[in-house]
Structure 1
Amino acid sequence: MPLVRIALLQGKSPEYRKQIGDVVHRAMVEKINCPPQDRFQLITEHARDNFLYAPVYLGIPHSDNLVIIQITLNEGRTTELKKALYQAIVEGLQKEIGLDKQDVFIGLIEVKKENWSFGNGLAQYAG
């Protein structure tokens, strides 16, 4: 059900990008009960001209290692579950690839279940 978009500056290795995807997926499985086989991720690298960010926002400094993660998922999870997800992602990325916590930007987009079609022109989650 979640669709994950991960964006970063060009220049990281395929292994680095895969590790980011692995950490995000593992956190979703462990913290928000995403089924393990439900993995849909788009990982994109951007030229500097197409990857703009605030060097400091809300007192949080960002570097060229910034990773922007956008997760579209079904609505209804509690604030506590969302906070646990954010924490698991930043801690996992710090541990796995040495990414500084301030360089992880996460945004959630919640949608109704009927807004998904996984193929065959059907709304598999619609009641």
Structure 2
Amino acid sequence: MAQIKIYGHTSFLHPIRRAFSDILHSCIVDAFQYPENKRAHRFFYLDEGDFYYPAGRTSQYTIIEISMFEGRSIEAKKALYQLIFSRMEQKLAISPNDIEITLTETPLHNWGIRGKSGDDLVLNYNLAV
């Protein structure tokens, strides 16, 4: 399971939200061998005065926060980051310098899904990738 929050300037992010979500999901599917039908993305649009960011970034600056079950290898996580950086640059012309990703893993028992604790779920995908 992965829950994803995407933060960025309204004027930049809102018009490209569908393409951004599609690209991001394709990266997760490829890097983590994740099911195509498991997408949970939320966009947080910020106005100019509500979003301060480091020097050297542009109005395309976007933060991606991924919260997911623990279990993926370091290699799979690094592959995910590289896929996101390269595909966003190739398909949406967003510089890797304008994307920051944080990934937070939590034990399955810290999730409540479909009326159960996450560690009681039967998953149709492998976490150990």
TM-score range, shorter chain: 0.7 to 0.9
Report how many residues are paired: 121
- CA displacement, residues 4-61 of structure 1 (integer Å, 9 cap, x when unaligned): 0001111136451111111111100100122111110101210122212111xxxxx3
Q: Distance in 2 between matches of 1:33 and 1:114?
A: 22
Q: Give 1:48's aligned residue.
A: 48
Pairing of 1:44-123 with structure 2 (within 5 A): 44-55=44-55, 61-119=56-114, 121-123=115-117
Q: Distance in 1 between matches of 2:15 and 2:38?
A: 21
TM-score (norm 2): 0.85
Moved over 6 A (4+): none
| 10-19 or 45-54: bigger deviation | 10-19
- CA RMSD in angstroms comes to 1.6
Give the letter for the 1:99 counterpart: I
Q: Give 1:19's aligned residue.
A: 19
Q: Distance in 2 between matches of 1:47 and 1:125?
A: 39
Q: Give 2:2's aligned residue.
A: 2
Q: CA deviation at 1:68?
A: 0.5
Q: Distance in 2 between matches of 1:15 and 1:62?
A: 19
Q: Distance in 1 between matches of 2:110 and 2:37?
A: 20
Secondary structure, counterpart of 1:26 in structure 2: helix
